Amino acid sequence: MTYLFNQPSAFSRELIEGFVAANGDKVRQVAGGVVRSTRSQPGTVAIVIGGGSGHYPAFAGLVGQGMAHGAAMGNLFASPSAQQIYTVARAADNGGGVLLAFGNYAGDVLHFGQACERLKAEGIPCELLAVTDDISSASIAEIDKRRGVAGDLVVFKVASAAAEAGYCLADVATVARRANFHTRTLGVAFSGCTLPGASQPLFEVAAGTMAQGMGIHGEPGIGEREVPRADALAELFVTSLLDERPAGVTALSEQRVAVVLNGLGAVKYEELFVVYRRVAALLHEAHLQIIEPEVGEFVTSFNMAGVSLTLMWLDEELERFWRAPANAPAFRKGSIIVAEPLAVETLQTAAVQTIPVASAASQQAAQCLMGILAVMARTLQDNADELGRIDAIAGDGDHGIGMERGVLAAVEEARSLVVRGAGAGTLLCRAADAWADNAGGTSGALWGVALTSIGTALGDTLTPDAHHVALGVRHAKESVMHFGKAQPGDKTLVDVLVPFSDSLNDEVARGVSLPEAWRIAAGVAQHSAEATRQLTPKMGRARPLAAKSLGTPDAGAISLAMIVNAISKVMQRQCSLQQSDTSGATR
């Protein structure tokens, strides 16, 4: 369990503050994460890594000379938002472009992808790299769907050394992708982790057994087996990884490997050394030369009891970059790099965001939207535990709390905007940013995209009518499918969003009033959400545990159906009040 914390909701923020206070000679805090506090070579590529908090030393501990230039940090086990990644990347940029590197999780893919597009739009060259080293999360035929786990360390290290050597962005990306292709990891867990304020671990493992193949966000493994002796575990690791030797790695010069034995949070160093003695012997028996092995904690899962083994097959260039010096708070290698600290900078006060001029009708609509967001918040708060329970069947169980964090932040932002006279479009777009920033993960990204699409369609001058609302929902559907890549049948919220949007637009096209069209579409959404029980997930964290989810609806689909039905009730009440007012005026 977690012993030391104040408010669970403040844990991520406070840990960053403490980390920076302890490592100010190497890092400084910026909105969304940390960047180097030392000077980097002008014109070189910046490596920006990131993911959820709870994985220390990843990701902040790997920022420093010879390692990453910045790290974007989300809430515990939740992806940083696109805004956070963008802000960190802008602060880290040296003028040579940015490589965004992260583990291959759906939320990270969405948020880092959006940040990349925004950087490119502003003239900053940018490349993406999703680490895919976890052999248990997909077959070799679907290697692009594999998760990024402890292999993050070796891939980040190679990419950072290439940038430090002055490689251009395209060459840094090429080397980093080769490092990723040459890297394989297998992990096991003996118990789940318990987040601050939680009374139960995210998952449990039966006494005397271990989960094989779990991710680093507390996802259950794909199978369980009896806990072996240390030597037998080493043999399982080495045999499994050697069976996954990357295609084409046959030359004698490539029979050299970087090795990382990684503790996931609660397994002690002494235990790791017992396992490593047998790992080293087995690799030597396989005629592999070990190059500068690492044994310790590098990519953890908060306080999970678990361990993983990573191998990266080396060629001459990869070996040179693996051996290159580095000096980050949690990772040092070779001769210590003494870097010049940044000059004391004048703290810049955040510019007050201006509010675009809005028509009276749009301002009135903004007040209505604030009320709708408040209803959404109450709905999600009332159902957060149930949404978490559904999500935990095959995922990590954080959907309810993530949605709650997102909507509460959106409501807070909306209230401040209404006071300042914002229109409907501005309110929804900025509430969308607040939702994505605070919710993190896949759902945070998708809800940010959806609300932005609707807000853009409504604008700040038009009177929101059935046509513009339906158009906004259609744009939300298209944007979510574009960024999330999910299709109907993949067991995601798309299985509700598509039929809901189609039904709403069809009814509005027939001339049905907005409240009635929404009511009909909300019924379709409810039916569609229940129908996801019969589907198996083809995307996201639940995909490796597809069989477990059969018979259980998708949490994202259920939460979307809950929300549109709650909004329908608000619309029906408002419609009834308007009819009463009209009747009273007539009398």
Nearest Cα to 102, choosing from 120, 118, 114, 119?
114
**Topology match between the domains 8-174+182-196+203-333 and 360-586:** no
Residue type, 309: L
User: What superfamily does domain 360-586 belong to in CATH?
Assistant: DhaL domain (1.25.40.340)
Q: Which of 217, 399, 468, 475 is catalytic?
A: 217
pLDDT, residue 68, reads: 98
Handedness of CA 452, 456, 461, 465 (dihedral sign): negative
The DSSP bridge partners found for residue 147 are: none
Helix (H/G/I), strand (E/B), else coil: 204: coil
| Calpha distance 368→323 (Å, rounded) | 59
Domain boundary assignment for the chain:
8-174+182-196+203-333, 360-586
Q: Which residue has the tokens 């790099």?
A: 337
HSE-up (13 A, CA, CB side) for residue 534: 5
| Calpha distance 263→265 (Å, rounded) | 6
Q: Which residue has the tokens 């893919």?
A: 109
Q: Which residue has the tokens 């990573």?
A: 310
Distant-in-sequence, close-in-space partners of 141: CB < 8 Å, separation ≥ 6: none
Residue pLDDT tens, the chain, 587 long: 788 988 877 888 899 999 999 999 999 999 889 999 999 999 999 999 999 899 999 999 999 999 999 999 988 888 888 888 999 999 999 999 999 999 998 888 988 998 999 899 999 999 999 999 999 988 999 999 999 999 999 999 999 999 999 999 999 999 999 999 999 999 999 988 888 887 788 777 888 999 898 777 766 567 889 999 999 999 999 999 999 999 877 654 558 999 999 999 999 999 999 999 999 999 999 999 999 999 999 999 989 899 999 999 999 999 999 999 999 999 999 876 677 888 765 334 344 467 889 999 999 999 999 999 999 999 999 999 999 899 888 776 788 988 999 999 999 999 999 999 999 999 999 999 899 888 877 888 899 889 988 998 899 988 889 999 999 999 999 989 887 788 999 999 999 999 999 999 999 999 999 999 999 999 999 999 999 999 988 766 555 556 677 889 999 999 999 999 999 999 988 766 555 554 444 44
| Calpha distance 488→485 (Å, rounded) | 10
Nearest Cα to 89, choosing from 73, 102, 71?
71
Kindly write down the DSSP assignment for every residue of 455-498, as one continuous string: HHHH-SSS---HHHHHHHHHHHHHHHHHHH---TTSSSTHHHHH
| Calpha distance 435→429 (Å, rounded) | 10
Residue 213 has phi, psi (to 5 degrees) of 90, 25
Nearest Cα to 23, choosing from 62, 67, 77?
62
- Please, where are the H alpha helices in 65-168? 82-92, 106-121, 151-164
The DSSP bridge partners found for residue 134 are: 185
Does 399 participate in catalysis according to the annotation? no
pTM for the complete prediction? 0.76
What's the CATH number of domain 8-174+182-196+203-333, 3.40.50.10440, 3.40.50.720, 3.40.50.300, 3.90.930.12? 3.40.50.10440
| Calpha distance 580→337 (Å, rounded) | 75
Q: Which residue has the tokens 């046509």?
A: 467
pLDDT, residue 540, reads: 60
Distant-in-sequence, close-in-space partners of 426: CB < 8 Å, separation ≥ 6: 355, 356, 358, 366, 417, 455, 460
556 in Cβ contact with 399 (< 8 Å): yes
| Calpha distance 539→114 (Å, rounded) | 18
DSSP single-letter state for residue 65: B
- Cα distances from 2 to residues 268, 299, 365, 493, in angstroms, run 17, 18, 44, 32
Distant-in-sequence, close-in-space partners of 149: CB < 8 Å, separation ≥ 6: 103, 133, 134, 185, 187, 215, 216, 299, 308, 310
User: CA angle 448-81-478, nearest 5°?
Assistant: 35
